[in-house]
Structure 1
Amino acid sequence: MNIAFFLTPKEDVVCETLNSSMRQALERMEKYRYTAIPLIDNKGKYVGTLTEGDLLWKLKDTQEFNFKNTSKILLKEIPRHMNNKPVRINSNMEDLVSLAVNQNFVPVIDDNDVFIGIIKRSDIINYCYRELFDKNCNFTLNMR
């Protein structure tokens, strides 16, 4: 099986650029109820993952900072604490699953490191569950 089977394409992924403001990221993450989103640079390359924790630590560690100031802080100024490693689109399933064990999503890049989408851990688990359930149902029916 090819990992592209699980790909959620970039057009369907909530992500931000390094030049987006903290406020923009907060509002989009709230709107879509995400706790982490991919970050891309101005050339479309994946550069990391931004988490709610990163935003909270920035808020905590910046003197005289409040929500009103969030439009003045660019995402490139916020230290990131999580490193969601990407896979290449031609990677094998073993590489994908080994990363998905510890990441809610795995960013997918092409041969030029351009971000092309994500693979959600929940999609992998749901697929495995369906495969297991279908096999168990067939096994039970064959036993009768």
Structure 2
Amino acid sequence: MEIKSFLLPKEKVSYLTTSASMQEAIERLEACHYTAIPMIDEKGKYVGTLSEGDLLWKLKYTPDLTFVNMNEIAVTDIRTRIYNECVAINAHMEDMLALAADQNFVPVVDNERDRQFLGIIRRKDIIAYYTRNITD
């Protein structure tokens, strides 16, 4: 089965652009109740995932960084510790199983070369699909 039917499209996904600040990232994570959020560049290409942990490490290891001046830190200046692998839209569910074991979501792109962000597949949807198919 192709993953298209499981895609949560970009229009329904909270994400950050690389022009966002650390303060914007925290506010977006809080608003959407995510623990990690996809990041895309100004051309709409998937570039990585920013996690709550990445923000905490930046706060811990940046002298004089406070909640007051977080708007001065660009998300591109925050080291991401985990890279969420993405898959192309024409991938099959089997391609996602290994990724879903390590990632809350799998970013979906148009193809590996262009990497235009199309949306995500959530781990819970992958588990539900396999649960239905194993028990049937």
Shared fold (TM-score, shorter chain, > 0.5): yes
- TM-score for both structures, normalised by structure 1: 0.89
**Percent identity of the aligned residues?**
52
- Structure number with the higher helix fraction is 1
The 2-side partners of 1:31 and 1:117 are apart by 18
The 2-side partners of 1:124 and 1:118 are apart by 11
> 2:94: which partner in 1?
94
The offset of 1:31, in angstroms, is: 1.3
> 2:115: which partner in 1?
113
> 1:142: which partner in 2?
none
Q: Which runs of 5+ in 1 are unaligned?
A: 136-144
> 1:124: which partner in 2?
126
> 1:141: which partner in 2?
none
> 2:55: which partner in 1?
55
- What is the SS of the residue equivalent to 2:97? helix
The offset of 1:77, in angstroms, is: 0.7
Larger Rg: 1
> 2:82: which partner in 1?
82
The offset of 1:132, in angstroms, is: 4.1
Q: Which runs of 5+ in 2 are unaligned?
A: none
> 2:16: which partner in 1?
16
Moved over 4 A (4+): none
RMSD: 1.1
- What is the SS of the residue equivalent to 1:130? helix
Distance 1:132 1:94, change over 3 A: closer
Q: Which amino acid aligns with 1:71?
A: N
The offset of 1:57, in angstroms, is: 0.5
CA offset digits 1:76-97 (Å, max 9, x no partner): 1111001100000011222111
The 2-side partners of 1:63 and 1:98 are apart by 38
